[in-house]
């Protein structure tokens, strides 16, 4: 080979080396082995990046699904960031972090193997916690724990303009500390609602049947009628008289997952004068009870809760990655000194009251005692906001649902009158 050829070969070799992307990954021979090729000595930048990811994960900007995405993409030979595109569409906060993480990656000088090790540790901890929770229960035993706390009645203000007045609740109630979860639903209904996104789903064996769902998330995609059926089953399980007579529903259909639909008919409260407060089984709260609970919510410092504190206490569009999140994964609010989770956000919570209630003109000093509505109507109220909602204004309003309506952003919690 002559001198000119040697020089040309050396130039081409240098050019090929410099032209290789700094984060290119060759044939797959294992995630950790591949990533070890790109380690460097800039530990401070790597730790800064991990700390940044840790903060975003703790605040809900990065979900478990996002962490899994990072792992899956790296193993496929692609480096990406764990902020899901779906959350970028609904959250300005997620969008800004999306581009910040992208800048980190593009600038390089990150020990990717350490980032992946951090992600794997995070996922391993969460998986272990779930397995420990599930393995402590037998296949046919109650796997979903129910925590009810007694709340005394009281007087509070409702309405606005010509409807402002006082409401008095005279009876104590027991209230679930968290919304009903997919785990609790599966144990009682022996199946789970349709799963839209299986990325972070888990498998569980129950009574010889394999179920797949995100079991620590609030149950959703169920009808209002299904929630009544669930309440009746829980009442029977714990020795209470069921609250709802559903036998008068016509053209009734119940799917394997327990989802109940009906085209017509009436629902009867099994109590004198159909007074829902006179029952002793589990039931949906009245609108008055829901409003009372939300009005009594206090922060951990004992101060009244305000909607500008959503980020600490609630999953909403700004931090939810456009999905429900595990119940009790945000700080609890206090009602009469007891801890309640997800009072705001994650899922809208059903009530037993119907939406077409006749408006009455009230005086500010008027007192309405133990209000409730007949339950045999087709449009029912919900309060509390969900993971899809953006602002405090949306959390302070009511929305309505049909008997047979199903949504990923609607769930429920139960109460029981203390007799």
Q: For the chain, give the number of residues.
A: 419
More confident residue, 41 or 341: 341
Q: How many domains does the chain have?
A: 2
The domain boundary, picked from 90, 114, 135, lies at: 135
Highest mean pLDDT among 24-33, 237-246, 351-360: 237-246
Q: CA 200 to CA 87: how far, in whole Å?
A: 16
Q: 267, 245 in Cβ contact below 8 A?
A: yes
- What confidence tier does 326 reach under pLDDT thresholds 50, 70, 90? very high
Q: CA 394 to CA 383: how far, in whole Å?
A: 10
Q: What is the mean pLDDT of the chain?
A: 75
- Could you give the C-alpha distances from 114 to 26, 30, 72, 253, in angstroms and in order? 19, 15, 16, 53
Q: 35, 113 in Cβ contact below 8 A?
A: yes
In a domain, 142, yes or no: no
Q: What is the pLDDT of residue 177?
A: 95
Q: What is the pLDDT of residue 260?
A: 76
Highest mean pLDDT among 154-168, 196-210, 288-302: 288-302
Q: CA 416 to CA 419: how far, in whole Å?
A: 9
For residue 327, the tally of other CB atoms under 10 A from its CB is 25
More confident residue, 298 or 86: 298
Closest by Cα among 344, 345, 337, 346 to 298? 337
Q: What is the pLDDT of residue 277?
A: 93
Q: What is the pLDDT of residue 203?
A: 76
Task: Say whether pLDDT at 400 is over 60.
Answer: yes
The domain boundary, picked from 76, 103, 135, lies at: 135
Residue 150: phi and psi, rounded to 5, are: -75, 130
Residues 279 and 187 in one domain: yes
Q: What is the pLDDT of residue 155?
A: 93
For residue 338, the tally of other CB atoms under 10 A from its CB is 15
Residues 32 and 178 in one domain: no
In a domain, 13, yes or no: no
- What confidence tier does 21 reach under pLDDT thresholds 50, 70, 90? very low
Region 257-275: what's the mean pLDDT?
78
User: Quick check: helix, strand or coil at residue 14?
Assistant: helix
Task: Say whether pLDDT at 41 is over 80.
Answer: no
Residues 155 and 264 in one domain: yes
Residues 194 and 307 in one domain: yes
Least confident of 35-49, 229-243, 279-293: 35-49
Least confident of 24-33, 108-117, 394-403: 24-33
Residues 197 and 118 in one domain: no
Structural domain range at position 186: 148-417
pLDDT in tens, 47-106: 887 887 787 776 667 777 777 777 666 655 566 667 766 555 445 556 667 777 777 777
Q: What is the pLDDT of residue 284?
A: 94
For residue 152, give every residue at least 6 positions away whose Cβ sits within 8 Å of its Cβ, in sequence order, or none.
172, 336
In a domain, 385, yes or no: yes
Region 354-362: what's the mean pLDDT?
64
Q: What is the DSSP letter of 181?
A: B
More confident residue, 108 or 87: 108
Q: What is the pLDDT of residue 293?
A: 94
Residues 177 and 285 in one domain: yes
Residues 290 and 398 in one domain: yes
Q: What is the DSSP letter of 136?
A: T
Residues 71 and 130 in one domain: yes
Residue 5: phi and psi, rounded to 5, are: -65, -40
Residues 83 and 213 in one domain: no
Q: What is the pLDDT of residue 12?
A: 44
Task: Say whether pLDDT at 258 is over 50.
Answer: yes
The gap from C-alpha 29 to its chain's centroid, in whole angstroms, comes to 37
The domain boundary, picked from 97, 112, 135, lies at: 135
In a domain, 158, yes or no: yes
Record the tokens describing residue 244, joined without a space.
């709802």
CATH of residue 353's domain is 3.90.1580.10
Residues 171 and 60 in one domain: no
Q: 167, 292 in Cβ contact below 8 A?
A: yes
Task: Say whether pLDDT at 389 is over 80.
Answer: yes
- What confidence tier does 279 reach under pLDDT thresholds 50, 70, 90? very high
Residues 124 and 205 in one domain: no
In a domain, 16, yes or no: no
Residues 34 and 155 in one domain: no
On the 0-12 / 13-18 / 19+ scale of CB atoms within 10 A, 326 is: buried
On the 0-12 / 13-18 / 19+ scale of CB atoms within 10 A, 91 is: buried
Q: What is the pLDDT of residue 285?
A: 95
pLDDT in tens, 140-190: 233 357 899 999 999 988 876 777 889 999 999 999 999 999 889 988 888
Q: What is the DSSP letter of 392?
A: H
Q: CA 361 to CA 159: how far, in whole Å?
A: 10
Highest mean pLDDT among 128-142, 287-301, 375-389: 287-301
């Amino acid at each position: 080979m002559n001198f000119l050829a040697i020089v040309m070969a050396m130039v081409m070799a240098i050019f090929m080396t410099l032209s290789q992307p700094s984060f290119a990954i060759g044939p797959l021979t294992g995630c950790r082995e591949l990533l070890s090729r790109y380690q460097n000595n800039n530990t401070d930048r790597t730790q800064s990046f991990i700390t940044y990811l840790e903060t975003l994960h703790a605040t809900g900007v990065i979900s478990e699904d996002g962490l899994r995405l990072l792992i899956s993409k790296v193993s496929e030979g692609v480096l990406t960031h764990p902020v899901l595109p779906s959350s970028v569409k609904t959250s300005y906060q997620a969008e800004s972090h999306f581009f910040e993480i992208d800048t980190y990656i593009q600038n390089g000088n990150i020990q990717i193997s350490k980032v992946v090790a951090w992600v794997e540790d995070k996922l391993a901890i969460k998986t272990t916690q779930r397995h420990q929770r599930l393995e402590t229960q037998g296949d046919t035993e109650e796997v979903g724990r129910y925590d009810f706390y007694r709340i005394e009645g009281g007087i509070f203000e409702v309405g606005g303009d010509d409807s402002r007045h006082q409401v008095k609740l005279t009876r104590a109630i027991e209230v679930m500390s968290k919304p009903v979860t997919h785990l609790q639903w599966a144990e009682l209904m022996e199946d789970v609602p349709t799963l839209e996104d299986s990325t972070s789903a888990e498998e569980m064996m129950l009574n010889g049947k394999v179920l797949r769902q995100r079991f620590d998330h609030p149950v959703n995609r169920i009808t209002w009628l299904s929630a009544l059926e669930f309440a009746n089953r829980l009442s029977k399980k714990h020795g209470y008289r069921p609250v709802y007579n559903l036998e008068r529903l016509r053209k009734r259909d119940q799917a394997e997952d327990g989802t109940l639909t009906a085209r017509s008919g009436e629902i009867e409260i099994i109590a004198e004068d159909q007074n829902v407060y006179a029952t002793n089984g589990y039931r949906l709260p009245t609108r008055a009870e829901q409003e009372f609970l939300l009005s009594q919510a206090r922060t951990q410092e004992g101060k009244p809760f305000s909607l500008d504190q959503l980020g600490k206490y609630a999953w909403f569009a700004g931090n939810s990655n456009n999905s429900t999140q595990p119940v009790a994964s945000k700080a609890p609010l206090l009602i009469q000194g007891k801890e309640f989770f997800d009072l705001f956000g994650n899922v809208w919570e059903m009530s037993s009251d119907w939406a077409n209630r006749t408006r009455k003109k009230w005086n500010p000093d008027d007192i309405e005692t133990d209000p409730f509505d007949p339950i045999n109507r087709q449009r029912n109220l919900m309060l509390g906001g969900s993971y899809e909602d953006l602002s405090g204004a949306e959390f302070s309003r009511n929305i309505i649902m049909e008997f047979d309506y199903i949504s990923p952003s609607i769930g429920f919690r139960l109460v029981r009158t203390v007799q």
